[in-house]
Homo-oligomer: A and B are copies of this chain.
């Protein structure tokens, strides 16, 4: 075991899969340039030395092209791991992901597989409104795409490896402030022991990050950690939060969520992605449609205001839901 950051864990997952399967390759902007950055977050740093520039393929700044080319290569049996630096840039590539990646298998009598992995950094991190958006809800709305959102190094590695081996297009969301050392003051240190031995985490299984009997909290990516921090504080007051990390939105592990709410009778979603038509609304609908009678209190979502992401730290802090917000809401529900 060694302590790894999310960035290191992701890099290791890529390298392991690339060693085992020559079909796996990376494609994106500034990912393999000698003396360069290893992508916007250093994740692919050093990989071109081991795997060469054919397999760590630098591209022009052309996201629709990147996504489309990756889709084409995937159809032929390659296993591209594509990235577009910041998730916000993926809007340029939306057509390829939604109209092609998510649909070509359906149109081909199942003769086509699109084993595409798209790595998508999301979340607020001090870069202003066009470098801060969350896209996991948006893409979870599209049938034909799997949606993966790891919150820890362990999950990031095991899930990415599964995503690379998956024969379907998988959108893997990574939160910028969880990567580790990325020169951001606000970054969380979530590094942890990660086994050296190979392991996989199946796509579609939620993880109970903390057990508790009083309220079910569902978080995703960075808000999992927000929930865990709140849980620690609330424990002192005798309130036990159960923190569920769905880890994948599509397919969603409904069972784990429902089981938890059956036990606690209460649910709060904490979400960095905009609330309206978001994944939290989906979870609330799941719970209220399926186990309405188990609920002892109204469900509740905590999230940002419905605004673009502002730049100044004081506004950014206001924008992102934090443990104070969660603790306040818990108090209301328990009180």
Q: Which residue of B lies closest to A291 (CB)?
A: B298
Cβ-based interface call for A306 (8 A): yes
Q: Which of B138, B300, B308 contacts A103 (CB 8 A)?
A: B308
CA of A133 to CA of B133 in the docked complex: distance in angstroms?
23
Q: Is the CB of B92 within 8 A of A95?
A: yes
Contacts of A290 in B (CB 8 A): 298
Cβ-based interface call for A289 (8 A): yes
CA of A129 to CA of B293 in the docked complex: distance in angstroms?
38
Q: Is the CB of B277 within 8 A of A307?
A: no
Shortest CB–CB separation between residue A64 and chain B, in angstroms? 8
Q: Is the CB of B280 within 8 A of A285?
A: yes
Given contacts A277-B278, A281-B284, contact A298 B289 (CB under 8 A): yes
Q: Which residue of B lies closest to A306 (CB)?
A: B143
Given contacts A91-B99, A99-B88, contact A138 B288 (CB under 8 A): no
Q: Which of B141, B292, B305, B307 contacts A274 (CB 8 A)?
A: B141
Contacts of A289 in B (CB 8 A): 284, 298-301
CA of A153 to CA of B301 in the docked complex: distance in angstroms?
36
Q: Which of B144, B277, B292, B295 contacts A141 (CB 8 A)?
A: B277
Encode A68-112 as 1/0 by CB contact (under 8 A) with B: 000000000000000000001101101100110011001100000
Cβ-based interface call for A282 (8 A): yes
Q: Is the CB of A288 within 8 A of B299?
A: yes
Cβ-based interface call for A54 (8 A): no
Cβ-based interface call for A250 (8 A): yes
Shortest CB–CB separation between residue A38 and chain B, in angstroms? 25
Encode A240-283 as 1/0 by CB contact (under 8 A) with B: 00000000011000000000000000000000001111111110
Q: Which of B293, B300, B308 contacts A106 (CB 8 A)?
A: B308
Give the residue among A137, A285, A293, A310 with the most B Cβ atoms within 10 A.
A285
Q: Is the CB of B307 within 8 A of A143?
A: yes
CA of A310 to CA of B143 in the docked complex: distance in angstroms?
12
Q: Which of B106, B138, B299 contacts A138 (CB 8 A)?
A: B138
CA of A91 to CA of B142 in the docked complex: distance in angstroms?
12
Supply 6 further A-B pairs (C-beta < 8 A) apart from A91-B98, A289-B300, A293-B298.
A141-B141, A141-B277, A277-B278, A281-B282, A281-B285, A288-B288
Minimum-distance CB pairs A-B, first 10: A292-B298, A281-B281, A91-B95, A91-B94, A94-B94, A281-B285, A143-B306, A141-B277, A284-B285, A106-B308
